[in-house]
Structure 1
Amino acid sequence: MPNQRAGRRSNPQDKEGWFLGIDLGTGSCKCVVVDSQAHILGFGTGDYASSTTQQKWNEQDPDSLLAGMVRSVHSAIEQSGVKATGCAGLSIGGAMHSLIALDHSGNPLTGVITWADGRGAPQAQAVRQSTQAAELYDQTGCPAHGMYPLYKILWLRQEHPALFEQVARFITAKEFVFQKLTGQEVVDYSLASGSGLLNTHTLKWNPLSLEVAGIRPDHLAQPSGPITTFRGLEPFLAKAMGISSQTPVVLGSSDAANSNFGAGAVNPWQATCMIGTSGAFRIVTGQPTLDKQGRLWCYAIDETHWLVGGAINNGGITLSWLKDALNQTVSQTSNKTEISFDDLISLAGQVETGANGLICLPFFAGERSPNWNLNARAVFFGLTLQHDIRHIARSLLEGVAFRLRSLNEILSELVGDIDEVRASGGFTHSELWPQIIASTLDRNLLAPAWGETSCLGAAFWAMLGVGGIPSFESAGDLITIALQYSPIAKEAAVYDQLYPIYAGLYESLKPAFDQIAQVQRDLALSTAEQNPRAR
């Protein structure tokens, strides 16, 4: 793991006053140790598992998240070689849209219901078709979608009323960990805003959202700003992590807001583009910025900053589909080595821009932004006898890039031109995919030297909370750019030809998406009835 900001190794004196940035993600916790100039001193991870006890359910054990955080912090500190007493502050970022129900004794009644849990989808769809949908969006900045805790709570109330009656408090995964660590019951503005329950204008719990969910304000913690600071850690946990129990703890924000913060994308003309399994395209604005058509979300960060953008279900998962499909065939027909992600990227790079006119609508997992269509399905359009697996691989990469272009266009409508895009996520490990995106967007794409932008953003909140940096915007001065991908005019011209066809295909296929999704549900139900073990 390189020591880096500007590629420089840290000096021993840098280790006297240092900061911890913790990213409590969905699949693991990541922690970074930085000095006062944001040089990376150490990095650690702690994994935890998810369970899918039923179809569309996705839960985690709350205690495993706490254990994963302790492991990640201990590992980062051990790697860094810093003094345990030298931590000037820490902050925690949390994955958005999680939910835990607690009883009156503070014990979990549910696991951590993650953003990927789909059981609230029918409730969200019912609201989406009601007269309340537009009002809720205008107040909260959250389109009606099952990922939001509002609809998970509504599901619990409608489907498990007896359990619902036992609930004293609904919290996020980060709140659970934060309370164990500090004893404080508090939620940051960003996570609160990403619940569908907070008014994004007033930064108070939204009365209509509470009414729809069937809960009271005292079911929820007090929303607070990200630089709210506490002192005093639970001694046992402090010792296990390797820091002083008197370390200042800065409340911080969500992983999404932290990703922008840690990439230095802190102005409306700077976007972040993240592609991991899924993807996102986001900007920071100085006021609530809502889309009249409800295509994007708008989450509060603090009293003067809002995060505006969209998320896509289909990022790296599209390549996973192709890799798994090919490897299943290989395993059934030969003993050859399995195909890797790098192999697919290499194959995609062997064909020309535009994949010889093959267009992919990459809706393998439905769609979130901008159309919020669970019934959207993947399509390859333009296949001929001249196409092979290389073209399919490239069309997947380009199809995801077109999804990001659609979000960029909507954001540009709302806030004006976006001059640069900063990249994070696994896709930055290749050179081809970032270049495709730069040319598709016709914008410079900048990759920060430190790719784990969410945990670095958490470290910046720790620094801001204790006075280590003067402002949110000043974090941009601490970011070093490792690579810049500039649009290639010839490639951009090809994508300008293909994108209108791509967009038109989506509009034309909307009715067919609904029809085929219903057929698939009917067939799945028929299969389950014939073979109960397949459920």
Structure 2
Amino acid sequence: MEYMIGVDLGTTSTKAVLFDDKNQVVTSANKGYPLYRDVPDMAEEDLNEIFDALIEALTDVVRAADLKDGDKIAAVSFSSAMHSLIAFDKNWKPLTRVITWADTRAVKYTEELKSNGLGAQIYKKTGTPIHPMAPLSKLLWLKEEHHDVYENAAHYLGIKEYLFHRLFGSNKMDISIASGTGLFNIFNLDWDEQALTVTGVTKSQLPKPVEPYEYETNMVAEYAAVIGIPADTPFVYGAGDGPLSNLGVNAVKPGVAAITIGTSGAIRVVADEPVIDPKGRTFTYALDKDHWVVGGPVNNGGDVFRWARDNMFDAEKSTAALLGEDAYDLMTEIASRIPAGSEGLIFHPYLGGERAPIWDANARGSFFGLNHAHTRAHMLRSVLEGITFNVYMVSLALEEVVGGLKSIQATGGFARSPLWRQMFADIFEQPVTVPEAFESGSLAAVIVAQKALGKIDDLYEIEKYVGASNTYQPDPENFEAYRELAPIFIRLSRQLQTEYENIANYQRKHSK
């Protein structure tokens, strides 16, 4: 038996999934780690915690495989969260923790880029919207506010590149991850000269861009022994989690959108060449040089539902724990008792600022329309609807850029919830299809590995392995409520944007 492992490097956990030679899941292991928010707008991870999580997850699935004589792990391949940044000195000593996509401390320098026109010029070449999430802005922040780090930094990597460097001594970055840095020219597939000039960073400080099909062998013997695999096992670079999510649910044909809601979320479609939005609202990231994923990411997805659980449904959370049940299942059952539209209660889910569609790191969440009749259950349903309305706003911008959407493939934690699936179908007025395989990102990473090793000819082979699916049709009874509320949600988000900076500054001033 030849097995392959797909690794999903996430914001709060790393998952390793073992696939057999028919691309069926054998077992998986998931290891979590904290996201550090020591000061306002910070969102960092510890390098050693993530490295240990990777080693432990790989070790667990290799042991579970119980390899017999003749069995082997043919490859390990990666899907990775994008936009992270780590600075190293000339001896490869880390100078920072992992500064993640969710870190918005570079908001001041992002606004300066937008106001002086340089941001628009760079976006048109890099396809990465100007936002504090991107390493482009993070580098400007380091330069101005942590100049000692900036001056001593000889190398910059993201989290996946750090893991490869530690395992293999390499210094490379796949073009998918590179295309989300704001520093990479998506038309000539190299680091962009203007972006480098603006940040003051040189090519020598950045990793070598490579195709997602590049792989490393000759792992450090100590780590190979711990994991329990030969040191020459190919480790394939793979791609960013967004592009691979599209591949993983077979959303690669024109007009087929993939919606992912995990901690954060996104809606994306695939094009055969980079597509730039004249208004700068959408991203264009590489899957590989022949497949480009166009879409918009949202900061506020499942983490907002978690906030609601922890702050409004603590009793239910405790009850579910005692009964061995999932608190989220209990909460969605409560929300399902409330009619579509939450009887006029609207929630803007911007607890962590927002990327698409408003690209405002100062954005803040709010309930609008509260009256005496509203209960916790109304608030809960409005939270779910608010997250969904926000993704719907992104889809409207996306349709302007790439044309109409024909269907939606759903993945991520929300895809497990029948209520949420139906809500997406109703608000979008589109069928929502949920593939049976939930490990879509890891499966896509394995498909990339198979192409890298010459086992398949093209990525479309994944269609054979996505498996059965469930399709949720829009419910006409809910159209009227959502058709009335959606324009109010959109107009309100624009009106509130005039005050987001003021309230964000107040919070920064008075937060403990």
Letter in 2 for 1:26: T
CA drift at 1:328: 6.4
User: Aligned in 2, Cα 1:42/1:177: closer, same or farther, shift over 3 Å?
Assistant: same
Q: Would you say the 8 A contact 1:263–1:448 is kept in 2?
A: yes
Match status 1:410 vs 2:382: no
Within-5 A mapping of 1:491-510: 491-510=478-497
> How far apart in 2 are the matches of 1:300 and 1:432?
32
- From 283, 287, 290, the counterpart of 1:297: 283
- From 212, 219, 244, the counterpart of 1:258: 244
Q: Would you say the 8 A contact 1:49–1:60 is kept in 2?
A: yes
Q: Would you say the 8 A contact 2:35–2:45 is kept in 1?
A: yes
Within-5 A mapping of 1:100-111: 100-111=86-97
> How far apart in 2 are the matches of 1:469 and 1:96?
26
- From 301, 308, 330, the counterpart of 2:294: 308
The match for 1:28 is 13
Q: Would you say the 8 A contact 1:267–1:473 is kept in 2?
A: no
> How far apart in 1 are the matches of 2:454 and 2:280?
37
CA drift at 1:319: 2.6
> How far apart in 2 are the matches of 1:225 and 1:448?
28
User: Aligned in 2, Cα 1:330/1:468: closer, same or farther, shift over 3 Å?
Assistant: closer
Q: Would you say the 8 A contact 1:326–1:339 is kept in 2?
A: no
> How far apart in 1 are the matches of 2:306 and 2:271?
34
Match status 1:424 vs 2:406: no
CA drift at 1:206: 0.4
Q: Would you say the 8 A contact 1:327–1:339 is kept in 2?
A: no
- From 19, 23, 41, the counterpart of 2:26: 41
Within-5 A mapping of 1:189-204: 189-204=175-190
Letter in 1 for 2:112: A
Within-5 A mapping of 1:116-131: 116-131=102-117
The match for 2:64 is 79
The match for 1:361 is 348
The match for 1:19 is 4
User: Aligned in 2, Cα 1:104/1:293: closer, same or farther, shift over 3 Å?
Assistant: same
* Runs of 4+ that moved beyond 4 A: 327-331, 336-339
> How far apart in 2 are the matches of 1:100 and 1:425?
27
Letter in 2 for 1:228: E
Q: Would you say the 8 A contact 1:265–1:476 is kept in 2?
A: no
The TM-score, its normalising length taken from structure 2, stands at: 0.93
Within-5 A mapping of 1:282-431: 282-327=268-313, 340-431=327-418
> How far apart in 2 are the matches of 1:447 and 1:503?
27
| Cα offsets for 1:94-129 (capped at 9, x unmatched) | 211111111111121112111122222211121111
Q: Would you say the 8 A contact 1:119–1:146 is kept in 2?
A: yes
- From 241, 258, 265, the counterpart of 1:272: 258
| Cα offsets for 1:232-273 (capped at 9, x unmatched) | 222222221122222222221112222222222222322221
> How far apart in 2 are the matches of 1:160 and 1:383?
43
Q: Would you say the 8 A contact 1:21–1:31 is kept in 2?
A: yes
| Cα offsets for 1:305-364 (capped at 9, x unmatched) | 112111112212333333333256999xxxx99993333211210122222222222222
The TM-score, its normalising length taken from structure 1, stands at: 0.89
User: Aligned in 2, Cα 1:268/1:235: closer, same or farther, shift over 3 Å?
Assistant: farther
The match for 2:470 is 483
Q: Would you say the 8 A contact 2:411–2:434 is kept in 1?
A: yes
Q: Would you say the 8 A contact 1:43–1:80 is kept in 2?
A: no
Match status 1:166 vs 2:161: no
Match status 1:142 vs 2:128: yes
> How far apart in 1 are the matches of 2:164 and 2:19?
21
- From 488, 500, 511, the counterpart of 1:513: 500
The match for 1:4 is none
> How far apart in 2 are the matches of 1:311 and 1:205?
23
CA drift at 1:214: 0.7
The match for 1:5 is none
Q: 1:37 aligns to what SS in structure 2? A: coil
> How far apart in 2 are the matches of 1:159 and 1:119?
10
> How far apart in 2 are the matches of 1:398 and 1:313?
15
Letter in 2 for 1:219: Q
The match for 2:214 is 228
Letter in 1 for 2:44: E
> How far apart in 2 are the matches of 1:402 and 1:467?
42
| Cα offsets for 1:361-392 (capped at 9, x unmatched) | 22222221011122333233333333222222
> How far apart in 2 are the matches of 1:485 and 1:135?
41
Q: Would you say the 8 A contact 1:102–1:169 is kept in 2?
A: yes
> How far apart in 1 are the matches of 2:335 and 2:92?
52
Match status 1:206 vs 2:201: no
